[in-house]
Amino acid sequence: MIGDAGVEHTFLAVMAATRRPRFIRHRSQCNTMDHIVNLLVSPAQRPDSLATLGDMGEPDPLEAAVRAVRAFAAGGDPGVPTPLGLGHIHRTYAVSCGDRDLVLQHLNTEIFPDLDALTENLLRVTQHLAQAETRSEPERRVLTVVRAADGGALHRDASGGVWRAFAKIRDAEAAGSTRDPSALAAAAAAFGDFARKLSELPAPPLHTTIARFHDFPRRRGVFENSVATDPCGRAAGATEAIAATRDACTQLERLLPEAELANLPRRVAHHDCKLDNLLVDSTSREPLCVIDLDTTMPGTWLSDFGELVRSATAGAPEDAGDTYRVEIDVAAFDALASGWLHATAPLLIDAERRALPLAGARLAAMNGLRFLTDYLEGDVYFRSLRSDQNLDRARTQTRLAVALLARVADLRDCVERALD
């Protein structure tokens, strides 16, 4: 199930809150399209998100959703799908089907081309979590995949579009940002409990849905290649950001060498543990259900804790650039460490424990690399509403990484207290 959306931006998150639709452009178009790429898609073609240029030949998305929902209606009389959210990988809709409400998704097969692997992972994870759930109202605590009329978890429409559906979780909304330590601890505990339960997932390992997703050396290599080739002629205007990014990576490597991470255990990791990917009760704010499961795959728990820290401790807007002072909220980190380790500490090895204080800096630096690479390549992955937005995002993430590294002694103290 997926929960109610009190307002559009609350919901969803559903399957990929930080990742934006990919814009496919020829390199020759970089300079001419910097300011207008996001304006080329007509409103009729983007009811819930800006469509990719590769989607321009598709039928109207809302009309396609109206037809697709019938495959999941199970004899009910479906209403008109309502777009949910902006800027996610998949197009997402809420729709009422008689006596039940659904969340319908049109899958982005550019980002996730192996639909069999994606769906097998989803079914295995949700079924395992459902079997492990012992609390009241289990239907609100685990995503429920709704089968299509033919019994499959996916429906392919006449145009080749691929759809899936979930039961909508009642009286729930995304946790969203907060500075309240008790709320942060509870949210972190929910993500930790998710990880703990999936540590018992029977073999075989889950499929890798995005290869080398959190591979820092690979991200660094791609970044350096973009600087060297400068495909859109943007490097000259980003020299300070490039230097700052390199400096942050050098600092991180000195404190957390990649060689020390090579032997971390491979675990089932969510890879996108931010508060928007956790549903809470709309009234009590009790954590209910972890969502956005498409990148739940083999990885390290450093990715999960690091993303929690990266997304919850800065206090700066994502695209603040150099106009906003990034300050680390150590109390927020302390709450996150306390909550997450409450569930995971008994399972951690010493190398993981030593790396946790640096996990947030690593994820921030990695995101800085990704944003700056995308800026240099012409904003081909992350949706941007202005020509320098990804540059500002990169600056913010790099400054966040440096700020986290500067407070690493305090962060170590927090982790040690949580482990006691």
Portions of the chain given CATH number 3.30.200.20: 2-172
The residues of the chain that CATH labels 3.90.1200.10 are: 181-419
Nearest by Cα to 271 from 233, 317, 302, 310? 302
Report the candidate in 167, 173, 168, 169 with the shortest Cα–Cα distance to residue 140: 169
User: Could you report the per-residue pLDDT of 79-125, keeping only the tens digit for each?
Assistant: 889 998 654 578 899 999 878 899 999 999 998 999 999 999 999 99
H or E element at residue 93? strand 91-97
Task: Identify the pLDDT of residue 18.
Answer: 34
The architecture of the domain spanning 181-419 is Alpha-Beta Complex (3.90)
Given this model, what pLDDT does residue 314 score?
A: 76
pLDDT at 17 over 90: no
- Is domain 2-172 in CATH 3.30.2130.10, yes or no? no
Lowest mean pLDDT among 76-85, 107-116, 255-264, 392-401: 76-85
Of the listed ranges 79-88, 362-371, 395-404, the least confidently predicted one is 79-88
For residue 42, the model assigns a pLDDT of: 29
The pTM assigned to this predicted structure is 0.84
Contacts of 103 (CB under 8 A, 6+ apart): 2, 12, 14, 84, 92, 93, 94, 95, 165, 166, 167, 168
